[in-house]
């Protein structure tokens, strides 16, 4: 600011003093916006804090179904049976769910046994509540003669098997089968492109993926009779969370209730249909539940 | 009968070519201030690359003052099949400027503002988190911090939304952040669009929106998935599928008659094969289907195989040199071509003449000294390693080795379309082509 004309420095005119006051007012005013901020958090509604976190395993755990998929429907039913209404958030990637659990952002996480390391195991209370039923699939156009499966993995000696990352491969290797790991998309694509002879994928996951990615070739992906493997889904409660004991007990009690009153079976049949559902599904699940305690 | 069929095939091929050649007039270079002998240097350069089996073939087009002065096919489009002027190419990331124009049309219609948060239209983007890596050995390996602000439509158009490609993990192998982003993308089924992808772009973008950003919004030029978000944004705001929108609002008005998301089966013979080169004489045709190389997954068949439901705004389009020339000429004409206005002059100026990344540099493809407008890089000065000949030139490229450059000062367009993988070798070829194109100016 220049000194006003005809006044010896440091004297200021009234006009200059006014300008200075306005400038000071602006300097000390709160915030740097000429108006309100254009983007405020309130524009997007209230943020809901989740109690439980899960990662997407379509169609078992998915944001694309209103009930969150079969596994989430069972989980919710179990909590509801104990009078607990919880917020379950489904994130698109496993590391984000694990992060929320380790960071104590949530009470519990839904996942598989390999999601928790041996070192971390003591930090969580685990309860199995669903079984992924693995089945073998081959691609019919790649087989001029019949697929050589009869009853045992040794029938498939010398073939190339693809399993989901982190799933068991040793029994295949022991039977003389070459093994590869991958994700669902990669396994199906390699199967179709003759880079693999057969793959092992959970039945509902396979059905979902075939319908989505190969709608015109659904009949060409053939499921081999019999269960290839099974893998439980767990809910892991963080012991350090003050609500974990209460919610763990509520969940176990609720799960017992829905198994007993037939609601669990109903939920399964709604998705599977009676034909494909293994008759002993619940007794298989109970074995895992007993083992985790 | 067989001979009759063959004769018919060749007659039809000839007629198609004849009609195409007749439609597109190529003027004498001298009539538009270019030098024929100097343009011939381009032919020598490309021929030598074909002869050395660095590339199988290419189409190069140079136009000035609205007229094509150089339009040459070189080598093969497929095994035993010569390259034609109307050969079709997977233009990959040259899709991005097309989608940018779509967004800007909606902007001009008052349907969105560039300052709008993306979450206004795609709520899954609300309250983004940013990924920060923790020291090696930490468990978890990263932490999530709230973004300092929401990402905006402009962040998408200038690649400051913090959305890298998964294969950035290969570009920067020592950077743990990109490796972590790659793992998150893999887990979440995030597709670059460069291979057959099931589902829709909307489904994928909603998953992407729930992942953390790699950078704080606005702070880093991070080339990648933003154009796919733009593509879905076009769908949300216009209420049309992206392919329908582009066809009705851009391709048809500009008479880009050979430009598609998923090409009709009848056009497939016109699509160039994709080739893999080692730049030292080994050149192989890439077979259809998925190819995985490190963090990079690609497939030559993604534009005619699979479910054909995934409309990638980042890489999904096939086109020809002539069609893309028409798009470039529209931009060079400040939004209009042959009496059809696509964008206003003011919006084209905002897109192609305005630096939107401040002190950042558009280093993907180029070098320090290149800035970024909206959907295109802009040469800000000539004192660096990639020189188009003029300040103000704007350009972009595609990962299967396609590239365009528009020089408003000289009223010149340069287009190079090839189909060669990997892309990295082509920087040298492109930089030389830019020099040859600008040095062909003779007025």
Q: What is the pLDDT of residues B387-440, one digit of tens each?
A: 999 999 999 999 999 999 999 999 999 999 999 999 889 999 999 999 999 999
E strand or H helix that includes residue B420: strand B420-421
* Whether A96 and B212 lie within 8 Å, measured CB to CB: yes
CA separation, residue B316 to residues A185, A190, A246, B295 (Å): 20, 23, 51, 19
* Domain spans, chain A: 52-132+231-292, 133-229
Q: How far apart are the C-alpha atoms of A220 and A203, rounded to whole Å?
A: 15
pLDDT class of B365 with cuts at 50, 70, 90: confident
Window 13-42 of A, Cβ < 8 Å to B? 38-39, 41
Going by C-beta distance under 8 Å and a sequence separation of 6 or more, which residues neighbour residue B166? B181, B182, B185, B186, B190, B192, B295, B296
Question: Nearest by CB to B127, which of A41, A95, A99?
Answer: A41
Burial per residue of B295-310, b for 16 or more beta-carbon CB atoms within 10 angstroms, e otherwise: bbbbbbbbbbebbbbb
CB under 8 Å to A255, separation ≥6 — which residues?
A: A78, A81, A127, A129, A264, A289
Provide the pLDDT for residue B167.
94
* Radius of gyration in angstroms for the set of CA atoms belonging to chain B, rounded to a whole number: 21
| φ, ψ dihedrals at B11, nearest 5° | -60, -45
The answer to whether residue A223 scores a pLDDT higher than 60 is yes
For residue A11, pLDDT over 60 is answered with: no
> Does the distance separating the beta carbons of A98 and B290 come in below 8 Å?
no
Q: Residue A26 pLDDT more than 60?
A: no
Using CA coordinates, name the residue in chain A closest to B198. A213
Strands (E), B265-319: 275-277, 283-285, 291-293, 296-298, 318-319
Q: What are the pLDDT digits (tens) for B64-101?
A: 999 999 999 999 999 999 999 999 999 999 999 999 99
B289 φ/ψ angles, rounded to the nearest 5 degrees:
100, 180
To the nearest whole Å, the CA of B182 is away from the closest chain A CA by: 11
Comparing B24-95+256-438 with B97-246, is the CATH topology the same? Answer: yes
Does the beta-carbon distance from B184 to A95 stay under 8 Å? Answer: yes
Task: Return the residue in A46, A63, A89, A99 with the most chain B beta carbons within 10 A, the one to mutate for interface testing.
Answer: A99
The pLDDT of residue A47: 74
User: Residue A45 has what pLDDT?
Assistant: 73
Residue A245 has pLDDT above 90, yes or no: yes
Read off the pLDDT of residues A80-108 as tens digits, 9 standing for 90 and up. Answer: 999 999 999 999 999 999 999 999 999 99
Q: Does the domain spanning A52-132+231-292 belong to CATH 3.40.190.10?
A: yes
A86 to chain B, closest Cα gap in Å: 20
Whether ipTM tops 0.90, in short, is no
Instruction: Please enumerate residues of B whose Cβ is less than 8 A from a Cβ of A.
Output: 115, 117, 119-120, 123, 126-127, 139-144, 149-150, 152, 180, 183-189, 198-199, 203, 206-208, 210-212, 289-290, 292, 306-307
What is the structure's pLDDT at A226?
A: 87
Give B225's contacts in chain A (Cβ within 8 Å).
none
β strands within chain A, DSSP E: 52-55, 88-91, 108-111, 124-139, 160-164, 178-182, 198-202, 221-223, 229-238
pLDDT at A166 over 70: yes
Q: What is the pLDDT of residue B142?
A: 97
From the list A155, A131, A127, A142, the residue with the least C-alpha distance to A225 is A155
More confident residue, A14 or B277: B277
Can you tell me the distance from the alpha carbon of B396 to that of B324, in angstroms, rounded to the nearest whole number? 12
Of A93, A99, A189, the CB nearest to B188: A93
Residue range B294-302: mean pLDDT, rounded: 95
Chain A positions in Cβ-Cβ contact with residue B210 (cut-off 8 Å): 91-92, 96
Please give the CATH topology (third level) of the domain spanning B97-246: Beta-lactamase (3.40.710)
Cβ within 8 Å, pair A96-B184: yes
How far apart are the C-alpha atoms of B214 and B133, rounded to whole Å? 10
Residues of B in contact with A120 (CB under 8 A): 139
B113-124 per-position pLDDT tens digit = 999 999 999 999
Average pLDDT, chain B: 94
Q: Where are the alpha helices (DSSP H) in A40-119?
A: 70-81, 94-102
Helix (H) or strand (E) holding A206: helix A203-213
Q: How sure is the predictor about B16, in pLDDT bands with cuts at 50, 70 and 90?
A: very low
Residues 101-120 of A with CB under 8 A from B: 102-103, 120
Question: Which residues are CB-contacts of B15 (< 8 A; sequence separation ≥ 6)?
Answer: none
Give chain A positions within 8 Å (CB) of B180.
Answer: 95
Question: Is 50 exceeded by the pLDDT of residue A163?
Answer: yes
Report the pLDDT value the prediction gives residue A7, as an integer from 0 to 100: 43
Minimal C-alpha gap between A156 and chain B (Å): 26
Interface test with chain A among B121, B143, B210, B296, by most A beta carbons within 10 Å: B210
- pLDDT of amino acid B7: 52
pLDDT at A60: 96
B139 — pLDDT class (breaks 50, 70, 90): confident
Q: Phi/psi of residue B233, each to 5°?
A: -60, -40
DSSP E strands in B44-195: the ranges are: 57-64, 67-78, 81-82, 89-90, 129-133, 142-146
Taking contacts as CB-CB distances below 8 angstroms, the residues of chain A near B144 are: 96, 99
Chain B residues touching residue A212 (CB < 8 angstroms): 198-199, 307
Task: Give, rounded to a whole angstrom, the gap between the first and last alpha carbons of chain A.
Answer: 78
A to B CB pairs, distance under 8 Å = 77
Q: Is the pLDDT confidence value at A30 over 50?
A: no
Report chain A residues whose CB lies below 8 A from the CB of B152: 39
Residues of B in contact with A43 (CB under 8 A): 117, 119-120
Contact B320, B214 (CB under 8 A): no
Interface of A with B in 205-264 (CB under 8 A): 209, 212-215
Give me the pLDDT at residue A38, please: 72
Cβ within 8 Å, pair B292-A91: no
| Contact status, residue B59 vs residue B417, Cβ threshold 8 Å | yes
Six-digit token string for A221: 């992906």
The CATH H-level superfamily of B24-95+256-438 is DD-peptidase/beta-lactamase superfamily (3.40.710.10)
Confidence tier at A12 by pLDDT (50, 70, 90): low
Domain residue spans in chain B? 24-95+256-438, 97-246
| CATH code for the domain defined by A133-229 | 3.40.190.10
Q: Which of A33, A44, A55, A92 to mutate to test the interface with B (most CBs of B within 10 A)?
A: A92
A150 Cβ contact partners less than 8 Å away, ≥ 6 residues apart: none
Lowest-pLDDT range of A20-29, A56-65, B127-136 = A20-29
**C-alpha B326: how far from chain center:** 15
Least confident of A162-166, B210-214, B362-366: B362-366
Least confident of A39-48, B134-143, B159-168, B329-338: A39-48
Q: Which of B116, B102, B176 is nearest to B141 (CA)?
A: B176
Cα separation of B366 and B419, whole Å?
A: 20
For residues B440 and B41, the answer to whether their CB atoms sit within 8 Å is yes
A44 contacts B119? CB cut-off 8 A: yes
- What tokens does A143 get? 């087989």
Listed range (A22-26, B5-9, B173-177) with the worst mean pLDDT: B5-9
């Amino acid at each position: 600011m220049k000194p006003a004309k005809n006044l010896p420095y440091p004297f200021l005119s009234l006009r200059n003093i006014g300008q200075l006051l306005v400038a000071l007012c602006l300097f000390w005013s709160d915030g740097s916006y000429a108006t309100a901020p254009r983007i405020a958090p309130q524009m997007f509604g209230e943020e809901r804090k989740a109690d439980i976190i899960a990662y997407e395993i379509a169609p078992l755990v998915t944001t694309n179904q209103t009930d969150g998929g079969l596994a989430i429907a069972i989980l919710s039913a179990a909590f509801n049976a104990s009078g607990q209404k919880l917020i379950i958030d489904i994130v698109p990637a496993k590391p984000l769910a694990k992060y929320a659990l380790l960071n104590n952002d949530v009470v519990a996480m839904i996942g598989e046994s390999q999601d928790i390391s041996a070192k971390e195991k003591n930090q969580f209370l685990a309860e199995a509540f669903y079984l992924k039923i693995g089945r073998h699939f081959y691609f019919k156009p790649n087989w001029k003669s019949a697929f050589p499966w009869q009853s045992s993995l040794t029938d498939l000696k010398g073939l190339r098997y693809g399993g989901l990352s982190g799933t068991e491969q040793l029994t295949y290797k022991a039977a003389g089968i070459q093994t590869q790991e991958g994700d669902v998309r990669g396994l199906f694509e390699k199967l179709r492109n003759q880079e693999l002879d057969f793959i092992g994928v959970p039945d509902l996951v396979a059905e979902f993926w075939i319908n989505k990615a190969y709608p015109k070739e659904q009949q060409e992906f053939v499921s081999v009779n019999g269960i290839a493997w099974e893998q439980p889904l767990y809910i892991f409660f963080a012991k350090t969370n003050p609500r974990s004991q209460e919610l763990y007990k509520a969940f176990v009690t609720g799960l017992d209730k829905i198994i007993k009153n037939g609601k669990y079976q109903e939920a399964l049949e709604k998705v599977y249909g009676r034909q494909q559902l293994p008759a002993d599904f619940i007794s298989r699940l109970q074995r895992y539940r007993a083992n985790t305690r | 009968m067989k001979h009759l069929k063959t004769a018919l095939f060749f007659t039809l091929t000839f007629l198609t070519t004849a009609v195409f050649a007749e439609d597109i007039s190529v003027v004498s270079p001298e009539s538009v201030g270019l030098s024929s002998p100097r343009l011939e240097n381009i032919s020598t350069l490309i021929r030598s690359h074909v002869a050395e089996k660095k590339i199988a073939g290419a189409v190069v087009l140079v136009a000035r003052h609205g007229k094509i002065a150089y339009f040459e096919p070189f080598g093969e489009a497929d095994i035993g099949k010569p390259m034609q002027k109307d050969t079709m190419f997977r233009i990959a990331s040259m899709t991005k400027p097309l989608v940018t124009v779509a967004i800007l049309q909606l902007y001009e219609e008052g349907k969105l503002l560039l300052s709008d948060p993306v979450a206004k239209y795609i709520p899954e983007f609300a309250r983004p988190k940013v990924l920060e890596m923790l020291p090696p050995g930490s468990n978890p390996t990263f932490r999530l911090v709230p973004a300092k602000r929401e990402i905006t439509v402009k962040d998408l158009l200038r690649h400051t939304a913090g959305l890298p490609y998964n294969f950035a993990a290969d570009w920067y192998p020592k950077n743990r952040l990109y490796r972590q982003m790659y793992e998150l993308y893999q887990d979440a089924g995030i597709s670059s669009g460069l291979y057959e992808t099931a589902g829709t772009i909307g489904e994928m973008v909603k998953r992407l929106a729930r992942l953390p950003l790699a950078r704080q919004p606005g702070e880093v030029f991070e080339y990648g998935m933003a154009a796919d978000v733009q593509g879905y944004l076009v769908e949300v705001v216009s209420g049309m599928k992206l392919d329908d929108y582009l066809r009705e609002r851009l391709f048809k008005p500009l008479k880009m008659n050979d430009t598609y998301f998923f090409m009709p089966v009848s056009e497939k013979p016109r699509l160039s094969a994709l080739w893999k080169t080692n730049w030292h004489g080994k050149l192989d045709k890439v077979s259809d289907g998925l190819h995985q190389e490190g963090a990079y997954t690609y497939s030559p068949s993604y534009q005619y195989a699979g479910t054909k439901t995934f409309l990638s705004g980042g890489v999904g389009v096939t086109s020809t040199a002539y069609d893309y020339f028409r798009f470039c000429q529209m931009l060079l004409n400040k939004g209009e071509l042959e009496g059809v206005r696509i964008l206003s002059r003011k919006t084209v100026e905002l897109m192609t003449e305005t630096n939107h990344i401040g002190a950042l540099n558009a280093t993907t493809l180029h070098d320090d000294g290149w800035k970024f407008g909206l959907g295109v890089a802009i040469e800000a000065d000539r004192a660096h390693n990639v020189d188009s000949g003029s300040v103000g030139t704007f350009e972009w490229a595609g990962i299967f080795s396609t590239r365009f450059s528009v020089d408003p000062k000289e009223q010149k367009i340069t287009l190079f379309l090839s189909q060669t993988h990997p892309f990295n070798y082509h920087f040298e070829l492109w930089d030389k082509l830019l020099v040859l194109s600008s040095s062909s100016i003779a007025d």
